Each structure stands twice: as structure tokens, then as C-alpha cells.
Structure 1
Amino acid sequence: MNLNRRHFLFLLGATAAGLAVENYAFAQTPLDPQLISQADPQPIGTAVLPPLPYDYNALEPYIDEETMRFHHDKHHAAYVRNLNAALDKYPKLKTKSIESLLRNLDRIPSDIRTTVRNNGGGHVNHSMFWEIMKPNGGGEPTGAIAESISNSFGNFSTFKENFNKAGGGRFGSGWVMLVLDRQDDDDDDKNNRKLKIITTPNQDTPLMTGDYPIMGNDVWEHAYYLSYRNRRGEYLEKWWNVVNWDEINKRYAQAIAVNNDDDDDDDD
């Protein structure tokens, strides 16, 4: 192990430790009750670190085992701990879904709002991230998501190019996402909503602006630096080899079906 690699591993460990501080400024449970994993027995509002749906080394050579261990066991685990610690201060919030909390951040008490935003967003983003990847993935999409991508972007090649460009252009840490636009109240055609590519800073989630995330790639350096160093563009291109289009099709169907109306209009 060379010095640069050792130094970077130290930084990864230090970052994960720093995330354990509740008010860490830049620090994901499934989105809705119906999206909760069958293996997750926890009540709604309690964040649980989901196990990886594959081995740590299953995505090699595109994402290395060491990165997966740090990314899942340290970074994601810290988001879960911090989120739960914040919600412990206001137990009533645990009766609400994580999705609802993130969609209604202005209703979160000010002393934990930033913690919920950063760590709740990190938890939701990463819970999606693990699921939309798989060994021997990739290729071109099929099914409803393929049709929607063609309708929204012209073809898959153009979509992929635009997605990579957006991810490469995200300054600093964040995510590149494919989202489904929120439903307009006066639009009677529920299936006419368009897909769009967005980027978000830090651990912000599209849920906060009413968009529904279909898929996304993590462009924080800890997601790729051990294998790709500063070559984010190469990471973005190689990542398509592990994309799980079956899961993305499921998320697209959920996005079409989800009710975008606020389910928590009650005053706290």
C-alpha cells in the first residue's frame, strides 16, 4: 500500500468518525411504508442500515471491495446513527416516514433540521444506490423505463451521455439523479410525466423538491477514489456495467403510482 492510499484510507476513517457527531454539517430507510424491505422489521420512522444485496466484492472490477466496505459500513451506517439520534429528541417524528420528513423539512424542529436533511437524505440516497446496482448488470434498459427514457431524451445513448455529463459537472460532493417530475394538479394524464436529470449537493434528495428519484449515482469522492482517484468521468462511465435495470423499472413503477400529495398535513 503506497502512502497516498494509506493517507486516503485514514481520511475515509476520519470522515466516518466525524459523521458520528450529530450536527455534522454535510452528513437513507426506504421511501414509503410500501417500499420497506421485507427484512426490515423496524417501525416507520426508524432508520435501519440495510444489508448489501450482494457481496462486498460482487461489483468488481467496477467498484472495489474496499470502497464498498467503507461506503456501506462506515458512511451509510453513520447517516443512520445520526438520523436516529436526532429523531430520539422528538419521538413523535418517528411515526412519520423518512420520505415525509424530507418532503416537509420546514416542519422539522430547527435544532435537528440540518441533521435530518443531511443524514436522512444520505440514508435514502444510499438505500436506493445499493438496490439499483447488481453483479453482471448493465446493458441497455428494457420495459417501461426504456420507453420513458426514449420519450424523454430521444434514446438511451443521449440519456447516458447527458447523465454522465451532469455527474461530471457536479461541483464538489453530491449526486446525479434521474427523477420523475412531480404531478401537476391540473394534469389528468398520470402517465405523461417526463423524466429529467438533476444533480444535488451533498446528501440532498430530490424528495425535498417534490421530484421522485428513479436512479442515481453517488459522485462523492469516497464512492470512487480508491480505484479511480480523481478520474470521476471514468468512474461514471464504468458504473453503467453494474446498473440494475430490473430494480430501476420497479422504482419507475412506484414513481408512477406514488401519491405526491402530502400525507402529513396534521400540525405537530
Structure 2
Amino acid sequence: MNRRLALKLFGAAAIGATLPIPAAHRVFAQAASGPFTLPPLGYAYEALEPHIDTQTMTIHHQRHEGAFIGNLNTFAGQYAALKPDTIEPVLRKLSDVPEGIRTGVRNNAGGLWNHVFFWDIMTPGGAKEATGTLAAAINSTFGDHAKFRQQFQASAVGRFGSGWAWLVVDKDGKLAIVSTPNQDNPLMDGVKGVVLGVDVWEHAYYLKYQNRRPDYVTSWWNTVNWTKAQANFAKAMG
């Protein structure tokens, strides 16, 4: 787990934010009994306009992600190994979780990890495509950035129902595009690392785009934090 993700899972203030966060948009924790608190975004809810609207970001963060927190605090009371700093190893070895709460831990720990990762992989005013070693790997694997984007877009749009599309470094150390249902993520399948991901649950886009998922994903490319993606790639390859 990288330092930024670990700090956010602990509920620490975001680092490296590119915009000041108005007081009305700061959410450091919610009233909940347990070790988990709602991590802050690291940028204002309106920062990704017009690509992702303010209302969607607010509801998505406070209500949808916030719901995972209360559930995880309940499960933490039943499974001592479940803590803010153990989310990733728990997801990588779900078979160790007691069967009676395994599905709940899978859904809620997966949901929290996915959303913290998602917020971090977006930024206002970032670069338009990958650079450095990630760009070279994309070109080698997919042909060029345009072909990669086309394949990733197809995976995101083609996910039936709710779920995610991801760019990962697979078990063999190669880039791959995968899709997961619900709040599952590639950690559960033993990948070396996750580079990029997009949420295609309807609550991520419906207020602005209604049923036009392709339009949402097309616009989402304008928010990608390629600097963070490069760091994720380097960590996975290291």
C-alpha cells in the first residue's frame, strides 16, 4: 500500500491537493464507533467540473463511501484483523475472513479501497495522457495511447450492471485491462498492482449523464491523474 493511500485510509488529511478545500467540503470523519473514518477527498467537490458534477461528488463521497465506514466498523468488532491499515492484505486473502462475514467484508472493504483509489486517480487540470515508463508500457502492450484508451473504454462501458474497469500490472508483470463486478477489485485476483480505475456504478454518473455511460467515461478521461498512475505503475513494477 502506498503512503498516500495508507494515510487516507487512516482518515488523515489528504496530501498533495491541487486546490484549497473550502470548509463546507471538508469531511475528515463521521460519527461512528470503530477504527474506520471517512477519508477526505483531497480536493473540493466542484474541482472536477464539468466532467463530474459537484452534487454527484458530494453524494458519492459522503453517502456512498460513508456507508462503507459504518459497516466496516461493525465488521471490525467481529474480525480483529480488519483495520484501516490492513485493508489491502485482507482483500488479497479473503479466504481468511470468517465465512459468516466474508461477503460483507468483501463488499465494504472493497468499496472503501476502490473509492479511496478512485479519488486519488483523479485530479483537476492534470496531464492528458501517460508519460514516462507507463507511457512506454502502454505503447508496447496496446500499440499506442489511443488504442489503450479505446480498449479501456470498451471494458468500462461493457461492464454489465455495476462495477469497475481497471488497468493493472498482472501476476506476470504485464499491463492488462480487467473489469470487476460490484465492489470487487483486482487485488482479490492477486495482481501485482492497480494502476488506474474507473467507477461505473450508476451512482457515479447518473445525475449528470443519466444512462449515457459512454459519455461519462469519455469525459472522465479529462480528470485522470497520470502522475499518480505513473507512481502506481512504478510501485507495482518495483
User: Normalized against structure 2, the TM-score is what?
Assistant: 0.85
Q: 1:38 to 1:103 in 2, by over 3 A?
A: closer
Which segment is superposed worse, 94-103 or 108-117?
Answer: 94-103
Which protein is bigger by CA-based radius of gyration?
Answer: 1
What does the per-residue CA deviation read over 1:153-190, in whole Å, with 9 as the maximum and x for residues that have no partner?
A: 1110000000111111100000000010124xxxxxxx
Q: Report the equivalent of 1:203.
A: 183
* Superposition pairs of residues 146-161 of structure 1, within 5 angstroms: 146-161=135-150
Deviation at 1:85, TM superposition (A): 1.2
Structure 1 39/79 Cα, relative in aligned 2: closer, same or farther at 3 Å?
closer
User: Matched residues in 2 for 1:157 and 1:95: separation?
Assistant: 37
Q: Which runs of 5+ in 1 are unaligned?
A: 1-30, 184-192, 258-268
Residue 181 to residue 237, structure 1, CA distance change in 2 (3 Å):
same
> What amino acid maps onto 1:256 in structure 2?
M
Determine the structure 2 residue equivalent to 1:74.
63
Whichever residue aligns with residue 106 of structure 1, its letter is: S
Deviations 1:77-117 (A, max 9, x none): 11122122111112244397111111111110011101110
Aligned partner of 1:243 among 224, 234, 238? 224
One-letter amino acid of the counterpart of residue 204, structure 1 = D
1:224 to 201, 205, 215: 205
Structure 1 counterpart of 2:123, from 109, 124, 134 = 134
Distance 1:208 1:39 in 2: 18
Q: Conserved in 1, the CA contact under 8 Å of 2:36 and 2:84?
A: no
Partner letter of residue 108 of structure 1? V
User: Which contiguous aligned blocks of 4+ residues in structure 1 show a shift greater than 6 angstroms?
Assistant: none
Amino acid across the alignment from 1:60: E
Mapped to 2, the partners of 1:72 and 1:33 lie a distance apart of: 21
Answer yes or no: is 1:179 the counterpart of 2:168: yes
Identify which of 228, 235, 238 aligns with 1:254. Answer: 235
Out of 69, 73, 76, which is 1:84 matched to? 73
- Give deviations 1:230-250, integer Å, cap 9, x for gaps: 000000101011111011111
Q: Call closer, same or farther: CA 1:38–1:53 in 2, change over 3 Å.
A: closer
Aligned to 1:107: 96
Given the superposition, is the C-alpha separation of residues 174 and 95 from structure 1 closer, same or farther in structure 2, using an over 3 Å criterion?
Answer: closer
- Gap change, CA 1:46 and 1:194, over 3 Å in 2: farther
- Across the two proteins, how many residue pairs are aligned to each other? 216
Whole-angstrom CA distance in 2 between matches of 1:118 and 1:230: 24
Q: Is the 8 A contact 2:168 2:177 kept in 1?
A: yes
> What secondary structure is seen at the aligned counterpart in 2 of 1:74?
helix
Structure 1 residue 40 displacement after superposition = 3.6
Residues 1:125 and 1:73: Cα distance change in structure 2 (over 3 Å):
same
Rounded Cα–Cα distance in structure 2 between residues aligned with 1:226 and 1:249: 31
List per-residue Cα deviations over 1:91-146 (Å, max 9, x = no partner). Answer: 24439711111111111001110111000101111101001101112412111211
* Higher RCO (Cα < 8 Å, 6 or more apart): 1
Per-residue CA distance 1:194-219 (angstroms, 9 max, x = gap): 11101000000100000121110000
Identity %: 48
Measured on the aligned residues, the alpha-carbon RMSD in Å equals 2.1
